[in-house]
């Protein structure tokens, strides 16, 4: 099926991230599932995306919402069965949607049979060699807070760059390499169109000897030059995976989740014989000001072009505060990828206005755009979740100082009212939804002029019609210092990131606008337009 679709689809695709726990609940247990997704795929066709990326649905104790895998070749009963996965892929392909799954190669669950065997077999055994065991820990911190090392009963320590229940695999061990290569084949054989590779910058570590500072604070975002991130040895692994993917018909892709900077380092993951795409987190993190936005667009395009890869653009995912809320802090300019316990509430109206403008700009850029479920509804972060319902291990491991990522993972609203706004027949029991989400429900926005949903839909339709994904950026220098203005083919894009309204060029026709123009037909602050 895949082979019938156009080739090199991944160079200008729009890819929609589904977080299975929170997309749609078919069986009414309060947690989303695969049949729920299959039943709602029509929504994504209506919206106009090309592919979906599914966050993990594999068997897992769910210590990190499924990023702690205990069996790489099955579906957790929470989400359904393998047959449900096959049905999902079949339906998606029937609808012309590609399916990308998450691959979590840096660590397993501590309940994976390999880790259990490693504990049972003891120091010096081949079973322990699949993980990173040491007699003494060093000072590496866990991303979720505290030390990255935990001691086992016989006195050895194991490395976990994330939660204590996520032991890191030892990628120097050929058995680990062989196993994950086989996992790739397992899902490729089932028809997946690609893999989003979790912690792609972390697999290979350069060991550092122990020191006295075991409790060093974790970095805000993991990026080099630390010895556990972005080591050159990772690239050989991706070259070997690329060969596997290339054995399969159609264009199957690898997408790197690699929090590295500068963007030139990111581009190394997408050299011609490695991955196809890497998430552009520099773009996600850029402040809402014209200079840095122009700069990150330029540097990303240049870095990716230097290796012949498409640039990607992303504003939200399941690990960061939703952009409709990040942009709701006027004074801090998009700095809050996490919200601390002492932070004030974001301004919802300002955040939404800027988020709509930011998305309108993003969808005009050439390359690949990633959307995170619910952003097409303008969903804000849930910032008032009661502490007792929080699930993210960050909350506990940070000593209750970082709230964690639950606020962007709340089940999405489909219809107004009901126990879970149409997420399922019952309540969204795994994480409660805010009471104000009636107004964001899909059904309330469908066919409503000016709704965020219709803005996304129109943008995706026009993006396709004007072939913006395959276009180029030509800067328009005269637009003013606070305005990001570029031409992509016949479309002129103008995003006003300043405070004063901006006049349209004479004779311009508005194709798309993220908000209303003012009474004089000018583009107000925090608004973006596409013009002909």
Q: Residues 115, 119, 121, CA angle at the centre, nearest 5°?
A: 110
- Tell me: does residue 319 bind ligand NOJ (CB under 6 A): yes
> Which residue, 67 or 453, has its beta carbon nearer to ligand NOJ?
67
- Tell me: does residue 104 bind ligand NOJ (CB under 6 A): yes
Contacting residue, 25, 33, 198, 376, with ligand NOJ by CB under 6 A:
198
Cα dihedral across residues 295, 296, 302, 305: positive or negative: negative
Instruction: Give the list of residues 6+ apart from residue 127 with CB closer than 8 angstroms, or none.
Output: 114, 117, 118, 120, 121
- Tell me: does residue 67 bind ligand NOJ (CB under 6 A): yes
Compute the least distance from the CB of residue 199 to ligand NOJ, in Å: 5
Contacting residue, 169, 199, 493, 511, with ligand NOJ by CB under 6 A:
199
Q: Residues 249, 255, 259, CA angle at the centre, nearest 5°?
A: 165
Q: Is the separation of the CB atoms in 435 and 370 below 8 Å?
A: no
Rounded to the nearest angstrom, the gap between the alpha carbon of residue 36 and the centroid of all alpha carbons in its chain is 20
Q: Is the separation of the CB atoms in 423 and 24 below 8 Å?
A: yes
> Which residue, 105 or 378, has its beta carbon nearer to ligand NOJ?
105
DSSP H or E run through 506: none
Instruction: Give the list of residues 6+ apart from residue 465 with CB closer than 8 angstroms, or none.
Output: none
* Residue that is written with structure tokens 């996600």 in the block: 284
DSSP 281: H
What is the rounded CA–CA span in Å between residue 74 and residue 59? 6
What is the rounded CA–CA span in Å between residue 12 and residue 54? 19
- Tell me: does residue 251 bind ligand NOJ (CB under 6 A): no
Q: Where are the alpha helices (DSSP H) in 96-146?
A: 113-121
> Which residue, 21 or 444, has its beta carbon nearer to ligand NOJ?
21
User: Total binding residues for ligand NOJ by CB under 6 A?
Assistant: 9
> Which residue, 69 or 428, has its beta carbon nearer to ligand NOJ?
69
> Which residue, 50 or 198, has its beta carbon nearer to ligand NOJ?
198
* Residue that is written with structure tokens 């709701």 in the block: 328
- Site residues for ligand NOJ, 161-190, by CB under 6 A, read 162
- Tell me: does residue 159 bind ligand NOJ (CB under 6 A): no
- Tell me: does residue 395 bind ligand NOJ (CB under 6 A): no
Compute the least distance from the CB of residue 118 to ligand NOJ, in Å: 19
> Which residue, 166 or 325, has its beta carbon nearer to ligand NOJ?
166
- Tell me: does residue 381 bind ligand NOJ (CB under 6 A): no
- Tell me: does residue 279 bind ligand NOJ (CB under 6 A): no
Torsion, Cα of 425, 428, 429, 431 (10° steps):
170
Compute the least distance from the CB of residue 162 to ligand NOJ, in Å: 4
**Which residues form the catalytic set?**
198, 247
Contacting residue, 64, 84, 193, 381, with ligand NOJ by CB under 6 A:
64
Q: How is residue 213 written in tokens?
A: 């500072």
Q: Select the residue whose beta carbon is closest to ligand NOJ and give its number.
A: 67
Burial degree of 109 (CB within 10 A; 0-12, 13-18, 19+): buried
Compute the least distance from the CB of residue 163 to ligand NOJ, in Å: 8
Site string for ligand NOJ, 223-242 (x = CB under 6 A): --------------------
Compute the least distance from the CB of residue 481 to ligand NOJ, in Å: 36
Compute the least distance from the CB of residue 29 to ligand NOJ, in Å: 22
Compute the least distance from the CB of residue 67 to ligand NOJ, in Å: 3
In sequence order, what E strands does 154-243 have?
Answer: 157-159, 194-197
Instruction: Give the list of residues 6+ apart from residue 476 with CB closer than 8 angstroms, or none.
Output: 485, 486, 487, 492, 494
Q: Where are the alpha helices (DSSP H) in 341-500?
A: 348-362, 393-397, 442-445, 452-465
Cα dihedral across residues 322, 327, 329, 331: positive or negative: positive
Compute the least distance from the CB of residue 259 to ligand NOJ, in Å: 9
> Which residue, 237 or 352, has its beta carbon nearer to ligand NOJ?
237
> Which residue, 50 or 257, has its beta carbon nearer to ligand NOJ?
257
Contact set with ligand NOJ (CB under 6 A): 64, 67, 104, 162, 198-199, 257, 318-319
């Amino acid at each position: 099926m895949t082979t019938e679709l156009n080739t090199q689809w991944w160079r200008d695709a729009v890819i929609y991230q589904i977080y299975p726990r929170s997309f749609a609940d078919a069986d009414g247990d309060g947690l989303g599932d695969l049949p729920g997704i299959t039943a709602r795929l029509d929504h994504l066709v209506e919206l106009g995306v090309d592919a979906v990326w599914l966050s993990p649905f594999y068997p897992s104790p769910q210590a990190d919402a499924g990023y702690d895998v205990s069996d790489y070749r099955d579906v957790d009963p929470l989400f359904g069965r393998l047959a449900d996965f096959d049905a999902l892929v079949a339906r998606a392909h029937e609808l012309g949607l590609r399916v990308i799954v998450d691959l979590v190669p840096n660590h397993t669950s501590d309940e994976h049979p390999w880790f259990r065997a490693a504990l049972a077999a003891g120091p010096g055994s081949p079973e322990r060699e699949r993980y990173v065991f040491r007699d003494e820990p060093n000072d590496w911190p866990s991303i979720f807070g505290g030390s990255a090392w935990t001691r086992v009963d016989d006195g050895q320590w194991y490395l976990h760059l994330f939660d204590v229940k996520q032991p890191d695999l030892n990628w120097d061990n050929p058995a680990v390499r062989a196993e994950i290569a086989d996992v790739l084949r397992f899902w490729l054989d089932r028809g997946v169109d690609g893999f989003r590779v979790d912690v792609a910058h972390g697999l290979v570590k350069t060991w550092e000897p122990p020191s006295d500072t075991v409790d060093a604070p974790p970095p805000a975002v993991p990026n080099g030059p630390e010895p556990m991130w972005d080591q050159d040895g990772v690239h050989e692994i991706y070259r070997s995976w690329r060969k596997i993917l290339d054995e399969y018909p159609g264009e199957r892709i690898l997408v790197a989740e690699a929090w590295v900077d500068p963007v030139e380092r990111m581009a190394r993951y997408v050299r011609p014989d490695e991955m196809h795409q890497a998430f552009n987190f520099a773009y996600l993190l850029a402040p809402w000001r014209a200079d840095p936005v122009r700069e990150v667009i330029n540097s990303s395009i240049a870095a990716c072009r230097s290796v012949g890869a498409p640039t990607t653009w992303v504003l939200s995912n399941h690990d960061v505060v939703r952009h409709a809320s990040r942009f709701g802090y006027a004074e801090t300019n998009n700095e809050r990828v996490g919200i601390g316990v002492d932070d004030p509430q974001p301004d919802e109206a300002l955040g939404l206005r800027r988020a709509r403008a930011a998305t309108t700009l993003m969808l005009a850029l050439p390359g690949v755009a990633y959307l995170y479920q619910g952003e097409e509804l303008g969903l804000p972060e849930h910032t008032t979740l009661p502490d007792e319902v929080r699930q993210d291990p960050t909350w506990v491991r940070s000593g209750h100082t970082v709230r964690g990522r639950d606020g962007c993972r709340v089940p999405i609203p489909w219809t107004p009212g009901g126990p879970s706004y149409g997420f399922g027949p019952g309540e969204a029991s795994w994480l409660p939804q805010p009471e104000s989400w009636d107004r964001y429900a899909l059904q309330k926005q469908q066919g409503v002029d000016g709704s965020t949903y219709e803005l996304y839909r129109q943008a995706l339709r026009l993006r396709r019609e004007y072939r913006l994904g395959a276009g180029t950026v030509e800067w328009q220098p005269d637009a003013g210092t606070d305005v990001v203005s570029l031409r992509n083919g016949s479309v002129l894009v103008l995003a006003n990131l300043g405070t004063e309204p901006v006049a349209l060029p004479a004779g311009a026709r508005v194709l798309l606008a993220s908000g209303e123009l003012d009474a004089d037909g000018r583009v107000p602050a925090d608004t973006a337009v596409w013009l002909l």
